[in-house]
Amino acid sequence: MSDELDRIRREMHSVLQPEGVRPDDSLKITRRTFIHGSLIFGAATVGQTFAWWPLLNTLDIAHAAEAPFKFAWISDTHLYPRSLNTRFVDKVVRAAQEVQAMDPPADFLIFGGDLAQLGKIEELELGVDLLKEVKIPKHYIPGEHDWYLDMGKKWGELFGRPNWTFDHKGVRFIGLDTVSRGPDYWTAKNMTPEERMGHMATLDGTVAGPWAGVGRDQLDWMEKTLADWDKTKPVIIFSHNPLYEYYPPWNFWVRDWREVHEVLKPYSKVTNIHGHVHQVLYNEIGTLRSIGMLATSWPWPYAPEGVPKLTKPMIRVDPGDPFDGVGWEKIDVAATDEIKTEYIMWGRKEVFVQSAEDYDKNVSEIIRPRMADNMWPY
């Protein structure tokens, strides 16, 4: 871990993790595996020391959801035009069919962003078309790939406001837009919309910078949205990016995570479900727990540093199988407020690593940022 990251981690902990404050213990991540198995496992294989990290959940459950229900999550489909890439299309078709076939049915579907690969009208419309298979209510939040060709114009026409809220069976749901407030890297360099999109669409690019953020205006909106909500009742927040700092060079964070946690601190049962990372992730900060979701398109490797200690890593995938390492999720909200996340990773019985060799960091690596996108004429 770099000194800088280590410093931020410690700061994050000291600011957000006062003595004795922990998320409640009502969360499970399954493919039939209880999350806390990860603690022992992580310590043994990842080999990093997070001595200051809280290791147990202790809060009691005060309020319950009014009735048990399920919802589904699909994200990061990264659709190209149908003629260019049929594999990505096939996987969206499969996810949509499986969501629609859920029995009992899910109450709604959340689409977590990156519907398109390069923000094209054709790509976004293809996504809408493929998801018509899903007949339950659908709620969309944007990803950076959806946005930076036309700055969200087409996305807005198709899906409306990028942030929203609704209450469902005793849970307050909030959808956040963590992508549209990127600093302007294009005007001074006279980029075309395609060039702007190209830099944004390159995860390890060095030009688009720290684009992921919630923004003061949206934070104020979230604060207002939560003001009338009982602080012990469950809140579930959807965002494209994780709401903590995991790996800034790939925007596996929001840059204003400190402010986000200031707003959320009073609430004892907050769960954040996010996309963008294309991988299994779990983290707890203060009273907030975060769950990272799979893509349908392709998996990202774990970042070279900063993987939360509480994450039980997903299995190292076979790059020869387009259905490996990807899929969608069922989320079960029980009357006791338990939230169970089931990763539907196609073609895998075991979603999580079973041995050190199953982890993509089994071969230790030291890597560095790219250089060619920052050379003249940029």
Partner 1 sequence: MTTRSKFRLPLRRFALLGGITIAAVFAGPSSAHKDPVTPAQLRAYQEVFMEQVRKGDLLFHGDQKMAEQLGVAEDLSKTGMACAMCHPMASDTHPQSFPKFQAQMAKFATLRDMINWCIEKPNQGVKIDPESEAMKALEAYITWSNTGSVLQPGKF
Residue (of 203, 185, 204) closest to 195 by Cα position: 185
Instruction: Report the residue number, 27 or 326, with the smaller CB distance to Fe ion.
Output: 326
Instruction: Report the residue number, 117 or 283, with the smaller CB distance to partner 1.
Output: 117
Cβ neighbors of 166 (< 8 A, separation 6 or more) are: 139, 172, 173
Cis check for the bond before 137: say yes or no (omega within 30 of 0): no
Instruction: Report the residue number, 229 or 323, with the smaller CB distance to partner 1.
Output: 323
To partner 1, the closest distance from the beta carbon of 366 in angstroms equals: 4
Instruction: Report the residue number, 104 or 377, with the smaller CB distance to partner 1.
Output: 377
d(CA 8, CA 283): 16
To partner 1, the closest distance from the beta carbon of 307 in angstroms equals: 12
To partner 1, the closest distance from the beta carbon of 334 in angstroms equals: 36
Structure tokens at 132: 């018509």
**Interaction partner, residue 143 (Fe ion, partner 1, none; CB < 5-8 Å by kind):** Fe ion
Instruction: Report the residue number, 76 or 256, with the smaller CB distance to Fe ion.
Output: 76
Residues forming the site for Fe ion (CB under 5 A)? 76, 114, 143-144, 276
To partner 1, the closest distance from the beta carbon of 369 in angstroms equals: 6
Determine the angle formed by the axes of helices 216-227 and 257-264, rounding to 10 degrees: 10
**Interaction partner, residue 195 (partner 1, Fe ion, none; CB < 5-8 Å by kind):** partner 1
Instruction: Report the residue number, 144 or 259, with the smaller CB distance to Fe ion.
Output: 144
Cβ neighbors of 218 (< 8 A, separation 6 or more) are: 163, 176, 177, 181
To Fe ion, the closest distance from the beta carbon of 12 in angstroms equals: 22
**Interaction partner, residue 114 (partner 1, Fe ion, none; CB < 5-8 Å by kind):** Fe ion
Structure tokens at 282: 């779990």
**Interaction partner, residue 349 (Fe ion, partner 1, none; CB < 5-8 Å by kind):** none
To Fe ion, the closest distance from the beta carbon of 279 in angstroms equals: 11
Instruction: Report the residue number, 299 or 306, with the smaller CB distance to Fe ion.
Output: 299
- ∠268-246-318 over CA atoms, to 5°? 115
**Interaction partner, residue 197 (partner 1, Fe ion, none; CB < 5-8 Å by kind):** partner 1
To Fe ion, the closest distance from the beta carbon of 253 in angstroms equals: 12
**Which CA distances in Å does 2 have to 88, 139, 341, 350, 366?**
36, 38, 32, 32, 11
Cβ neighbors of 146 (< 8 A, separation 6 or more) are: 113, 114, 115, 116, 119, 124, 152, 155, 179
Structure tokens at 128: 């809408």
For 179, half-sphere exposure in the C-beta direction (CA atoms, 13 angstrom radius) is 30
Provide φ and ψ at 75, rounded to 5°. Answer: -155, 175
In this structure, the number of other CB atoms found within 10 A of the CB of residue 148 comes to 25
**Interaction partner, residue 276 (Fe ion, partner 1, none; CB < 5-8 Å by kind):** Fe ion
Instruction: Report the residue number, 24 or 114, with the smaller CB distance to Fe ion.
Output: 114
d(CA 241, CA 212): 7
Residues forming the site for partner 1 (CB under 8 A)? 80, 84-85, 87, 117, 194-195, 197-199, 201-205, 249-250, 298-301, 303-304, 318-320, 322, 357, 360, 362-373, 375-377
**Which CA distances in Å does 333 have to 152, 298, 336?**
32, 27, 8
